[in-house]
Amino acid sequence: MPSRVHVIVVARTGAPAAAQLSRTLDALRGQSTPPQAVTVVVLGDGAQVRALEGIGHSVEAIIEARATTSFAEAVALAQPRVADGSAVWLLTHDSVPERRALQLLAGSLERSPSAAIAAPKLVRHDDGRAIVSMGVTMSRLGRTVELAADELDQGQHDADEDTLGADVRGMLIRGAAPVVLRPDTGLGGADEGLDLGVRARLGGARTVLVPKARISVRPDGVAAAPQRDSARAWVSRRAQLHRRLVYAPAIAVPLHWLSLLPLALWRSIAHLVGKRPSAVAPEWGAALASMISIGAVMRSRRAIRSFRSASWASIAPLRVTRTQLRHRLDDGHGSERGAVSELRFFSGGGAWAVLAALVVGIAAFFPLLAWPSAGGGELLPMRQGVAELWRDAGWGLRDLGLAVIGPADPFAAVLAVLGTLWPGSPSFAVVLLWLGALPLAVLGGWFAATRVTERSGLRILGGVLWALAPTFLAALVQGRPAAVLLHLLLPWLFHSAAVAHRSWGAAGAASLLAAAALACAPSLAPALVLLWALTLILMLSTRRIRGAVRVFWLLIPAATMFAPLVYWQLRHGDPWALLADPGAVQSLAQASSDAVGRLLIAQGFPAPGHGGWDVLLGAEIAPFAALLLAPVAILALTSALSPRWRAGFALLITTMTGLITAILAVGIAVSFTDGDVVPLWPGTGLSLAWLGAVGAALVTLDTVVARPALRSAAALVTGAAVVVCAVPGLLAVNLGEAQIRNGATSTLPALVAAHAADDADSGTLIMTPLDDGSLATELVWGPSDTLGAQTTMLSTATRVQGDDLATGAVDLISSRDFDAAAELAGHGIAFVLLSSAPGRSDQARSMVDAAVTAIDQRPGFVKAGETPNGMLWQVDSEISERAQPTETQRAAGHLVGWAQLIVVLSALLLAIPTRASRREARARSRVVGRSADEPLAPSQRQRTDSGTGAVAVSSVAPVDTAAPQEPDEPDELAESTEPAEAGEQTPGDAERANAPDAEPAHAAVEEQSR
């Protein structure tokens, strides 16, 4: 046994720490072989420590240090008081050794002359059977791996002796060991024990484990890893980079230093994919801190060189291999076994429902099979190239108006994604959207129903009800692409947002879907923000902090996408214009803002005609169509009385929020077209209301109706009524009652389109005389007016945006004497089109005749003749280049674009599923809000009672038995690089971390399974 043992105890201040220190000192006095000296280093004011009873008899010195002093720095302060040749025992105020701990540790060093360090078994302070840490090693690339942690102690590791390193708490360091075998202050508070073991090996010694020497520790002690994920990630990554620079060969140190920032970027991406966003900021902070800590690195390298006698090959046998690491972090069940809730998309009939909807969709929109593009309503051609689509989605020069520079509507990004799916002809992607609208709606509705019910029949009913919603059919018939896309996105938003509090994967997907949904319908922003705020308050009130953080993220991408437009409208326009419907503005038939119109909206119809029944049966009988939606409403209201009443109330709140949004939206008019004021379309709010109503109806059918025959009958009546209500909408295209039509590839005359194919920056001035004697003007750049080029900057403008185009147009058709051709050519305008829509008033027609005469008399205009779009003239003058943004404007656009891209990519990386995230999703019930007294669905009872029922029961608890593995970095410049990710969870950590987010439903399923 060593002749002398000097104990260094590092303690915090405060009453709890003082009480724990008192127990530690009592344990030291009660050791079977007591130490010769004890030094206490207090991090802060040492008054409470000095006031402890008997402190003067058991402690030879008390040293005060700053409260921010690390464990390694505290040990360095006490080192001068250690006599030569004395062994050093490292403890903290919360480390309570058992009676024979020191005797066993010292005896191990006595029996092993080659050992420089003896490490005990650390157990939990409140449960001596739980192992906190016993031995640490690292992978080939330096990843820290605990040999035993968060395990039940059954003696399974007591035969282990040789190890690369261990937890620094409780280590006994031989007195003859070099002075450098003390914790490295440059590590910043992590991996001290592993680093000491590596240094001992390089010095020709080794670290031995003494399993019978037990020390109880707390998780929040001085030398323990921080409890917060971000703080743990910081100290771990800081230690990783320090060890990398210290261990690497001298020639590789500059390369490592240069790689710190690129690796920080790579690892940030890996953190987001691995659902660890809290580790991104510490990653960059640790990289920057390591870049400026060259002095600490040099001191550590000199210390190793002063005693190194062995090569790195002596460490290799103690490292864990990649196969061993994968085996340790795997639960052995892959990603399939242990599922509580199976999807059953094919076996449950979901695939057949989608296939049937595809057949119905093709039959309902059969004429579209021959259309190259769709027109009519708010439909316009798309850009001809994918690059042009994405250019329209960024801040810059807009392709409408004269020198209009500013942000694009977020809806342009949604259209760019849509057009990219069919890059050869983006306009045909819209035709495919219409043809696939019904099956896509059934698919989305089916998946949304999986959050409400386990019953396959009800899931199919949910998909059918969602696809045949009156507001969806009205959007298809009237040619409203934004409303169609919104209706297709909402069920997926519900599917992911309902479980966003459970995981970062669901939160990332929901945030992207929320951004896309708001881009399609900005008028839904108040409703979605209200629902988001209520959910966030609920999370915070129940102290589910992790869930609240994930829910908070949901609207961050949407806020980033809308921020430039918000800034523009607040500075140049009207804040109410932020609610404007995106895309082309058309004065289509819709419900009025009077009492009758709002009553029609309350019945579920966004436009007059009760879903087309006025055409089939007449205006007198059509109002009775509202009775066909009554079963859905009755079932939805009954959900408030169901066993799952919490879910019912949540869905009813969603219904009321959407309904109020629709009723208020029809009275808000912020867009203009051809002199007409166009109110917001109420159909977007009705889509949200229909989502809540269908979900609430499924809750009722799933929980209230107990008898299968009665449930089937109620579902059949409800589905049949909605199918009958949808008949006029499904027949509208084939009967010629729809606004959509075969669209041309260009909205401009063929001569303009051909000319613009060679000169895309040429403009066409379109003038339209109105019935009231005024003149509407529009400037289109390129071969056509496109859907992605539309901007609410112009459609909601109440004052001139860019140069004054209207004044020049009026002067052109007036008697004012000026060189009109040269002025237009100077702005890059090559054509003038005088549009004269049929059915205009006499005043409008006389204005057309006067304008034709005026332009014909002006020099510099070549009359191209009458076209289907109107009278066309070509400017016979040298066309100047179009005005371009300044360097400052370009820089602002690039800055905005990069900021939006970073946020969207972050959300996309979070949304990418991993093996662990899929396993976690399968380990929890898909149904959200299940009550404790609710009976199980037949499918769940079958899984519980079957031979695999034990697996299902054991997997009900939200335990992630295989935490996401962090990808190895593409860096092998040093023999040892990095330890484990600080944010990575062990099985025990995952269980404790997920427990606050567990829903009562899981406990109910487990109890009933038992």
Predicted confidence band of residue 340 (pLDDT cuts 50, 70, 90): low
For residues 904-930, give the mean pLDDT.
81
DSSP string, 680-728: PPTHHHHHHHHHHHHHHHHHHHHHT--SHHHHHHHHHHHHHHHHHHTHH
Sign, CA torsion 801/803/807/812: negative
Which segments of 421-544 does DSSP mark as H helices, in order?
Answer: 426-435, 437-449, 456-467, 470-478, 481-497, 504-520, 525-541
Residue 986 confidence (pLDDT): 36
pLDDT at 114: 84
Proportion of the chain in helix, strand, coil states, percent, rounded to 5 = 50, 10, 35
- DSSP three-state, residue 64: strand
Mean pLDDT for 516-543 is 93
Q: What is the pLDDT of residues 23-40, one digit of tens each?
A: 888 888 888 888 888 888
Q: Report d(CA 361, CA 440) in Å as an integer.
A: 10
Residue 1008 φ/ψ region, left for φ over 0, alpha for ψ in the -120 to 50 degree band, beta for the rest? alpha
Q: Name which residue leads in pLDDT, 880 or 594.
A: 880
CB 735 within 8 A of CB 722: no
Strand, helix or coil for residue 216: strand
The position carrying tokens 């000169």 is: 759
- Amino acid at position 510, single letter: A
The tens digit of pLDDT for each residue in 620-642 reads 788 888 899 999 999 999 999 88
Return the pLDDT at 851.
86
Mean pLDDT, the chain, whole residue set: 82
Say if CB 6 and CB 86 are below 8 A apart. yes
| From 159-163, 220-224, 320-324, the region with the lowest mean pLDDT | 320-324
Altogether, the residues listed in the chain come to a count of: 1010
pLDDT the model gives residue 804 = 67
What was the pLDDT predicted at 904? 92
Instruction: Say whether pLDDT at 693 is over 90.
Output: yes
* Contact by Cβ (8 Å): 682, 594: no
The amino acid that residue 710 corresponds to is L
Confidence of residue 966 (pLDDT cuts 50, 70, 90): very low
Interval 47-75 mean pLDDT: 80
pLDDT, residue 571, reads: 86
Give residue 609's pLDDT: 84
Looking at per-residue pLDDT, the higher value among 208 and 920 belongs to 208
Task: Give the pLDDT band of residue 971 (cuts 50, 70, 90).
Answer: very low
Question: Range with the lowest mean pLDDT among 88-97, 447-456, 552-561?
Answer: 88-97
**Which pLDDT does position 794 carry in this prediction?**
86
Task: Name the DSSP class of 420.
Answer: H
- Position 366 confidence tier, pLDDT thresholds 50, 70, 90: very high
Q: Report whether pLDDT(946) > 80.
A: no
Range with the lowest mean pLDDT among 362-376, 457-471, 512-526, 761-775?
Answer: 761-775
pLDDT, mean of residues 47-65: 78
pLDDT over 60 at 329, yes or no: no
Mean pLDDT of 457-466: 94
What pLDDT is attached to residue 803? Answer: 61
Q: Percentage of the chain with pLDDT > 90?
A: 26
pLDDT of residue 973: 31
Residue 461, pLDDT score: 95
**pLDDT-based confidence at 1004, cuts 50/70/90?**
very low
The DSSP call for residue 220 is T
pLDDT tens, position by position, 544-556:
888 899 999 999 9
Mean pLDDT of 667-674: 84
For 829-842, write each residue's pLDDT tens digit.
Answer: 889 998 876 656 77
Nearest to 391 by CA among 111, 788, 8: 788
938 — pLDDT class (breaks 50, 70, 90)? low
Residue 1010 predicted with pLDDT over 90: no
Q: Looking at residue 67, what DSSP letter applies?
A: T
Indicate if the pLDDT at residue 242 is higher than 80: yes
Q: Chain centroid to CA 944: how far?
A: 33
CA 324 to chain CA centroid, Å, is 32
Asked whether the predicted pLDDT for residue 974 surpasses 60, the reply is no
Q: Over 70: is that where the pLDDT of 961 sits?
A: no
Provide the 10 A C-beta neighbour count for residue 710.
Answer: 12
> What type of residue is 677?
V
- pLDDT tens track for 394-451: 888 888 878 788 899 999 999 999 999 999 899 999 999 999 999 999 999 999 999 9
Give the Cβ contact number of residue 772 at 10 Å.
9
Instruction: Give the mean pLDDT of 650-674.
Output: 91
Residue that wins the pLDDT comparison between 500 and 85:
500
Percent of the chain surpassing pLDDT 70? 88
Burial grade of 628 (CB within 10 A; 0-12, 13-18, 19 or more) = buried
Q: Is 554 within 8 Å of 514 (Cβ atoms)? A: yes
pLDDT at position 947: 36
pLDDT of residue 440: 96
From 98-107, 267-276, 279-288, 793-802, the region with the lowest mean pLDDT? 793-802
- 390 pLDDT tier (thresholds 50, 70, 90): very high
Residue 332 pLDDT > 80: no
Q: 536-544: long-range contacts (C-beta < 8 A, 24 or more apart)?
A: 539/501, 543/996, 544/501, 544/996, 544/997
Instruction: Tell me how far the alpha carbon of residue 648 is from its chain's centroid.
Output: 26
